[in-house]
Structure 1
Amino acid sequence: MSVLTRLIPSPVVVDIRSGALDDLGLILSDQRIAPSGRLAIAISPGSGQALRERFAPVLPDADWFTDADGTIDGAVRLADSIKKAGRYDTVVALGGGKVVDCAKYAAARLGLSLVAVATNLANDGLCSPVATLDNDAGRGSYGVPNPIGIVIDLDLIKDAPPRFVQAGIGDVICKISAVADWELSQRVNGEQVDGLAAAMARQAAEAVLRHPGTIADNAFLTTLAESLVLCGISMSVAGDSRPASGACHEISHAFDLLFPKRNALHGEQCGFGGVFATFLRGDHETARHMADTLRRHSLPVLPTEMGFSEADFVQAVEFAPQTRPGRYTILEHLNLSTDEIKDAYADYAKAISS
């Protein structure tokens, strides 16, 4: 009898703990990551300077680059700067989501591996096979390899603005809705669901949803960080963003495209979008549980709590299916009219407030 297995793209190193950065030099000296010790380290133009001052003495063979500004142009500049500077074993992204996404794109462009050293937990991009970058049309998603290493120092995460950690909670919890959308498409359209990818994303979300701690607790931060990593790997398992992105992300992308000057975070929008989509699906009990968890972590559950009016929200829901053509979610399934969206939102707002 033959035994069939599959190889899952995943990091060779995942280090999530207090004090992880104290061992950064040792981690990066791993022969699987940097056999010659030649590192190209991407940091943000501003706040990254303090990190450079801390780590430059312990990484003497590293070169530092400050082109990572969260745009596709910045990612291309970063790749060009690294290419011109010399030969490297790997690219290290040291910072938040913008730095990580720029570095992922640049590393892919150069055929180099990437180590992501996260300074916040705002979304699942730190381990996903996708780089989300601003471009002339607004924002785009670009396929890239998974990072070869993930380093998350909980002490550094606690120093991040709380909002940039809370947002990650929303981006994880919404996977409950994303997986449900995937399974809906399977029932209606026969779309194939990868059971392992779905299980990884759903269980990651459930772990955060049911954890009693707060972002002040190392135990909760560990669960959140591990869940974000698992969500990223679930996309690699599926070969698609399906296990992590459904109506929740369609609504978030619609907000981004229609109202680009608003300052709501991706994870905030996705968390809210996931609750609303779950309510639309008729699973009101789960929607209330999700909403209660978001509230407990000081995350928005209404558009007005993110600076959007009810009319803005209705416009976003109408536009949302256009952000992912071909993707089937509860929004495409119900195909609600403007008045039906208004009525559904009124019912939702009443239900989660009761």
Structure 2
Amino acid sequence: MPLLARTVATPLAIEVRRGAVANLGELLADRRISAGGDVAVVVGPGQGEKIVELCRPTLGSADVFTVAGGSVDSATELGDRLRHRHYDAVVGIGGGRTIDTAKYAATRYGIPMVTVATSLANDGIASPVASLTHDGGKGSYGVHIPIAVLVDLDFVEHGPDRQTQAGIGDAVSNLNACADWELAHELRGEPIDGLAVTLARTGAEALLNHPGKITDDTFLTTLAEALILGGIAMSISGSSRPASGGDHEISHAIDHLWPGTSAHGEQVGLGALFCTWLHGDRDRFGQLARCLHRHGLATRPADLGLTDEQFVEAVHFAPRTRPDRYTILEHLALSADELRARLGDCLDALGEHLG
């Protein structure tokens, strides 16, 4: 019988542990990414010097680039600087802005990219997407998936709790993204990738049901793995579908209407909770509400500093942020008055689940 299979693009190495930055050179050599340490190390302006001191002993041939990341311009400038020498890989060390800048620059010039995450704020650590600002707005740009992903729990532990909380919201929102994708498949015949759904949902489920706190290594490891699986799921499906549904549309709408309201992960977490209510999945709604509440994330618009009316406006506007995407929001196509009523019911139900 013929064997049918497909090739899936994933990182060569994934490690979540303490001391990842200090042992970076050994990993690059062991995985045959760079035997001599001829890499471009990209760090942000914050902890950049400390990071360089830790990895310098094992990366003697590396060049270090400090970037004020987060924009297409900074990523393009970094790419231009990378042209002046041959590098085995670009190593982005830091948070989301630094990593996305490095991913975009490395992709532009066809250089393998290694992620060394020092925070867990979103799934960009392993995704084929770079989120960068450009001309006053923010866009998502397709990039190569990292060839290796490392998460240093020493840095994560000592980073702001709010970044880790945002990562929780981003990871568990995959549950709604998958539900939205399945809805589009059922009602509109949109192609769906079962492997991508399985990976995205498995990571989110593990996090949703984990009893630990953000101070526990086991919980942080589960969070890192959930974010990494979400990124790989996007790579497998060739789109952000397994990690972006109505929840992300709501977050994009909040960013458009009230820029700077909150972190991305906090907004998508609340968006996922409301979308789950709209889906009518009451068991999942209760699980998600308790998870968000347990980790100090928003379960009500007021927790983000928004009024209920502002949140209704954002949800009503949300489908315009992704006209090509079909989610529970497009399916129900609720009026503002209907959304107010649904939100009221949702908030009443929260009292039953959270006390």
Q: TM-score, normalised by structure 2?
A: 0.96
Indicate the residue corresponding to 1:257 in structure 2.
256
Paired amino acid for 1:259: W
Deviations 1:73-124 (A, max 9, x none): 111111112223x111110000000001111000000100110000011111
Please state whether the residue corresponding to 1:20 is helix, strand or coil: coil
The CA deviation at 1:30 is 3.6
Cα distance between partner residues in 1 of 2:346 and 2:219: 29
Separation (CA, whole Å) in 2 of partners of 1:285 and 1:271: 17
Q: Paired residues, what number?
A: 352
- Check conservation: 1:97, 1:122, Cα contact below 8 A: yes
Residues 52-89 of structure 1: per-residue CA shift (max 9 Å, x gap): 233223321111112242111111111112223x1111
Tell me the residue number matched to 2:351: 353
Counterpart of 2:22 in 1: which secondary structure?
helix
Relative distance call for 1:21 and 1:37 in structure 2 (3 A) is: closer
Decide whether the 8 Å contact of 1:101 with 1:125 is kept in 2: yes
Matches within 5 A, 1:196-211: 196-211=195-210
CA deviations over 1:137-176 (Å, ceiling 9, x no partner): 4210000111001111222211111111111111111111
What SS does structure 1 have at the residue aligned with 2:306? coil
Which runs of 5 or more residues in structure 1 are unaligned? none
Is the CA contact (8 Å cut-off) linking 1:68 and 1:78 kept in structure 2?
no
Tell me how far apart the structure 2 counterparts of residues 59 and 36 of structure 1 sit (CA, whole Å). Answer: 8
C-alpha contact (below 8 Å) 2:13/2:31 kept by paired residues = no
Q: Is the 8 A contact 1:138 1:256 kept in 2?
A: no
2:22–2:54 CA contact under 8 A, matched in 1: no
* 1:124 matched residue in structure 2: 123
Runs of 4+ aligned residues of structure 1 deviating over 6 Å after TM superposition are: none
Superposition map of 1:78-89 within 5 A: 78-84=78-84, 86-89=85-88
Partner Cα distance (1:66, 1:309) in 2: 40
Contact 2:38 2:59 in 1 (8 A): no
Taking a change above 3 Å as real, the CA distance of residues 218 and 31 of structure 1, as seen in their structure-2 partners, is: closer
Partner of 1:169: 168
Which residue number in structure 1 is paired with residue 64 of structure 2? 64
The alpha carbon displacement at 1:46 in A equals 2.9
Q: 2:284 aligns with which of 260, 283, 286?
A: 286
Displacement after TM superposition at 1:255 (Å): 1.1
Amino acid at match of 1:44: G
Worse-matched range after superposition: 129-138 or 193-202: 129-138
State the alpha-carbon separation in 2 of the partners of residues 62 and 342 from structure 1: 56
- Indicate the RMSD between aligned Cα atoms, in angstroms: 1.3
**Contact between 1:178 and 1:243, CA under 8 Å: does it hold in 2?**
yes
Partner of 1:179: 178
1:104 maps to which residue?
Answer: 103
Is it true that 1:311 corresponds to 2:316 in the alignment?
A: no
Q: Contact 2:266/2:298 (CA < 8 Å) preserved in 1?
A: yes
Matches within 5 A, 1:1-354: 1-30=1-30, 32-84=32-84, 86-262=85-261, 264-354=262-352
SS at match of 1:29: helix
| Cα distance in 2 between the residues matched to 1:39 and 1:68 | 19
Percent identity at matched positions? 49
Whether contact under 8 Å (1:271, 1:294) holds in the other structure is: yes
Deviation of 1:35 (Å): 4.2
Distance in 2 between the 1:267 and 1:337 partners? Answer: 26
Secondary structure of 1:21's aligned partner = coil
Shift of residue 36, structure 1, vs aligned partner: 4.4
TM-aligned CA deviation for residue 4 of structure 1: 1.0
Contact 1:127–1:146, Cα closer than 8 Å, also in 2:
yes
Letter in 2 for 1:6: R
CA contact (8 A) 1:128 1:236 kept: yes
2:279 & 2:75 partners in 1: Cα distance? 38
Q: Secondary structure at the match of 2:119?
A: coil
Using the alignment, how far apart are the partners of 2:83 and 2:100 within structure 1? 18
Confirm or deny: 8 A CA contact 2:37 2:60 kept in the other structure. Answer: no
Q: Secondary structure at the match of 1:11?
A: coil
> Which secondary structure does the structure 1 equivalent of 2:4 belong to?
coil
- Matched to 2:59, the amino acid is L
Please give the alpha-carbon distance, in whole angstroms, between the structure 1 residues aligned to 2:55 and 2:201.
37
Which residues of structure 2 form unaligned runs of 5+? none
**Aligned-partner SS, 1:176:** helix
- When normalised by structure 1's length, the TM-score is 0.96
